[in-house]
Amino acid sequence: MRVLAAMSGGVDSAVAAARAVDAGHDVVGVHLALSRAGGTLRAGSRGCCTIEDAMDARRAADRLGMPFYVWDFSERFRDDVIDDFVAEYRAGRTPNPCMRCNEKIKFAALLERAIELGFDAVCTGHYATLVDTPEGRELHRASDNAKDQSYVLGVLTAEQLAHTYFPLGSTPSKALVRAEAEERGLTVAQKPDSHDICFIPDGDTRGWLADKVGAEKGEILDRSGAVVGTHDGAHAFTVGQRRGLQLGVPAADGKPRFVLEVRPVNNTVVVGPKEALACAEIAGERFTWAGRAPVASTFACDVQIRAHADPVPALASLEDGMLTVRPEVPFDGVAPGQTAVLYDGTRVIGQFTIDRTVSAVPVEV
Q: Is 101 marked active-site?
A: yes
Catalytic residue, from 48, 98, 123, 198: name it. Answer: 198
Catalytic residue, from 49, 98, 101, 301: name it. Answer: 101
3-state secondary structure the chain: CEEEEECCCCHHHHHHHHHHHHCCCEEEEEEEECCCCCCCCCECCECCCCHHHHHHHHHHHHHHCCCEEEEECHHHHHHHHHHHHHHHHHCCCCCCHHHHHHHHHHHHHHHHHHHHCCCCEEECCCCCEEEEECCEEEEECCCCCCCCCCCCCCCCCHHHHCCEECCCCCCCCHHHHHHHHHHHCCCCCCCCCCECCCCCCCCCHHHHHHHHHCCCCEEEECCCCCEEEEECCHHHCCCCCCCCCCECCCCCCCCCCEEEEEECCCCEEEEECHHHHEEEEEEECCEEECCCCCCCCEEEEEEECCCCCCCEEEEEEEECCEEEEEECCCEECCCCCCEEEEEECCEEEEEEECCEEEECCCCCC
- Active-site residues, by number, are 101, 198
